[in-house]
Amino acid sequence: MDIGFIGLGNMGFHMARRLTEAGHKLTVYDTRAEAIARLTARGAAAASSPRDVADRTETVLASLPTPDIVLAVATGKDGVIEGRKVRRFVDTSTTGSRMAIRIAEALAARNIVQLDSPVSGGVSGAEKGTLAVMVAGPRAEFDLLREMLGVIGKVFFIGEKPGMGQTMKLCNNMLSATAVAASSEAVVMGVKAGLDPQVMIDVINSGSGRNTATEAKFTRAILPRTFDFGFTNALMYKDLRLCLEEAEALGVPMWVGSAVRQMFQLSATQNGPDQDLTTLIQCIERWAGVEVRGKGVNQ
């Protein structure tokens, strides 16, 4: 299948790479020349703009950092909407349902179908092809693309209504963020009381408290103090903000979610928006006066 891919960052590069390795013919674009070069070295063709991608391919995928960037790439000047060949736009970004609906309506006026298809699983999932791919859009289009999307992960059909995939992603990320925040508080408390953090994580992962943070983020990024899980404070805060905005619009209370959003806002402010989401624990450590550090990890 001839595919266009726009946005070749931490997630997009690996998704595009896997599609190329699976035998698909890719035309790629990114604002960074070096990002494009990483894919052209693997056989992809370079494009000069989102419109250029959409001039050459019927199916265009995107992996972009913010809703406004997705809107500009999809519907702005020299955007996908101006392409001569494009028939469908598959957005793997996290934009929220209202933006997904807005983009879908704009593209529909040009007979272009949008499938909002956010993904979950982080950089490691993108690298291994084990992402959860949450697709919303016309069933016939989903059936057409399912095998191709299966190259990047496990594919789920969420529904035909635009934005349903985005809602699913926001619910998932709210739970993921909550696991990081709550686990960080619990482990810092244990360390302040004199417990070994590695023993704590081993016990939690053998008991009822285990979650994605204790199973992956603590072992890979927090205990070794590398803080490099691959998703930034700013991106998590953005997802939580979108989730709470949607919940408010639906009339759903999110008291826990509101607290978690505030914690990631604090981490973005104190640790830096571009720092890894696992640095959130450092805010709690500073208050408590301890560090959660694995054995053998240097000060």
Question: Which pLDDT score is estimated for 288?
Answer: 98
CATH topology of domain 2-160: Rossmann fold (3.40.50)
Considering only CA atoms, which of 103, 135, 133, 5 is closest in space to residue 57?
5
Question: Which pLDDT score is estimated for 1?
Answer: 84
Considering only CA atoms, which of 127, 145, 36, 13 is closest in space to residue 89?
145
Contact criterion met (CB below 8 Å) for 216 and 250: no
Question: Which pLDDT score is estimated for 50?
Answer: 97
Considering only CA atoms, which of 8, 278, 11 is closest in space to residue 129?
11
Which pairs with CB-CB distance under 8 Å and at least 24 residues apart come from 128-135? 129/18, 129/153, 130/154, 131/15, 132/156, 132/172, 133/92, 134/158, 134/165, 134/168, 134/169, 134/172, 135/165
Distance CA 231, CA 6 (A): 19
Catalytic pick from 169, 217, 238, 295?
Answer: 169
Distance CA 172, CA 151 (A): 21
pLDDT along the chain (299 residues), means of 10: 94 96 96 96 96 98 96 97 97 95 97 96 92 97 97 97 96 97 98 97 97 96 96 95 96 98 98 97 98 86
Q: How far is CA 191 from CA 76, 94, 169, 200, 216, in A?
A: 51, 35, 33, 9, 19
Where does the chain hold its CATH 3.40.50.720 domain(s)?
A: 2-160
Question: Which pLDDT score is estimated for 298?
Answer: 76
Q: Is 295 a catalytic residue?
A: no
Considering only CA atoms, which of 270, 188, 279, 185 is closest in space to residue 232?
279
Where does the chain hold its CATH 1.10.1040.10 domain(s)?
A: 167-288
Distance CA 153, CA 125 (A): 8
Question: Which pLDDT score is estimated for 146?
Answer: 96
Amino acid at 114: Q
Question: Which pLDDT score is estimated for 276?
Answer: 97
Amino acid at 207: G
Which CATH number is correct for 167-288, 1.10.1040.10, 3.40.50.1820, 3.50.20.10, 3.30.70.1230? Answer: 1.10.1040.10
Question: Which pLDDT score is estimated for 122?
Answer: 87
Question: Which pLDDT score is estimated for 295?
Answer: 86
Q: How far is CA 299 from CA 144, 148, 223, in A?
A: 53, 46, 12
pTM of the model: 0.92
